[in-house]
């Protein structure tokens, strides 16, 4: 739950940076009542630090090889996922007036309701922060990994799983590679290990 909240907050990082800039400019111009701007600046710095640290620790923990093993059958990068998220959900939030307390309250109501829906439906936001850290989202067809002995016992047609994988590795054009994943939600999984098969195999 905390990871979902952290990612949800960080997915709007361009918005928080813009609000921070607007508030600083407003204070520099000598606004009559600056408590709204100071409160906003403090909240942004604190929330960004907390969510950033927690997300970093979660990712470091997830990088420990664990979870189910899969073989990549095919993979395709979701190239416009972050852009679509920004255009659909983040940019409309710039319409609020962040230097007035009533505008801030209206924004918090809207942002809180949207956050509730994100948590309720366990939505993972492909966001600019993950992109900056080198992570990309791939739509993958996966087969459950089997050892040589298991393959000998079960020679039937392998079951194909369709999953969205968050990975730093280039999964396009890498069929046959083995990955381990950690579940984020029902649709997204985080790659924790990536192995290229030996050529002789």
**β-strand pairing of 160-167 with 188-195:** parallel
pTM: 0.69
CA distance linking residue 84 with residue 196, whole number of Å: 32
Beta bridge partners of 167: 136
Phi and psi at residue 77, in whole multiples of 5°? -70, 135
Residue 155: the pLDDT is: 58
CA distance linking residue 25 with residue 90, whole number of Å: 21
The closest alpha carbon to 192, from 182, 178, 183, belongs to 182
Residue 42: the pLDDT is: 92
Secondary structure letter of residue 127 according to DSSP: -
- Tokens for 1, please give them: 């739950």
Cβ neighbours of 7 (radius 10 Å): 22
Concatenate the DSSP letters of all residues of 149-194 into one string. Answer: HHHHH--SPPPEEEEEEEESS--TT-TT-EEEEEESSSSEEEEEEE
182 burial level (CB within 10 Å; 0-12, 13-18, 19+) = buried
- Average pLDDT across each block of 10 residues of the chain; the chain has 201 residues. List them in order: 80 85 85 78 92 84 68 83 71 75 84 80 71 84 66 58 84 82 79 72 45
Extended strands (E) in 38-135: 68-77
């Amino acid at each position: 739950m905390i990871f979902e909240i952290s990612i949800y907050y960080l997915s709007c990082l361009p918005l928080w940076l813009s609000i921070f800039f607007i508030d600083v400019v407003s204070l520099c111009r000598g606004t009559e009542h600056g408590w709204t701007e100071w409160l906003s600046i403090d909240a942004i710095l604190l929330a960004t630090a907390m969510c950033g640290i927690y997300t970093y620790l979660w990712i470091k923990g997830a990088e420990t090889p664990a979870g189910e093993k899969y073989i990549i059958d095919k993979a395709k990068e979701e190239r416009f996922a972050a852009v679509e998220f920004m255009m659909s959900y983040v940019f409309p939030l710039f319409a609020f007036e962040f230097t007035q307390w009533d505008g801030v309250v209206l924004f918090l109501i809207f942002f809180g309701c949207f956050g509730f829906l994100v948590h309720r439906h366990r939505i993972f936001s492909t966001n600019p922060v993950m992109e900056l850290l080198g992570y990309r989202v791939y739509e993958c067809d996966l087969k459950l990994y089997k050892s040589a002995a298991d393959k000998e016992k079960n020679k039937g047609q392998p079951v194909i799983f369709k999953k969205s994988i968050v990975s730093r590795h280039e999964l396009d054009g890498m069929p046959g590679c083995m990955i381990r994943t950690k579940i984020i939600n029902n649709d997204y999984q985080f790659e924790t290990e990536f192995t290229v098969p030996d050529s002789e195999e």
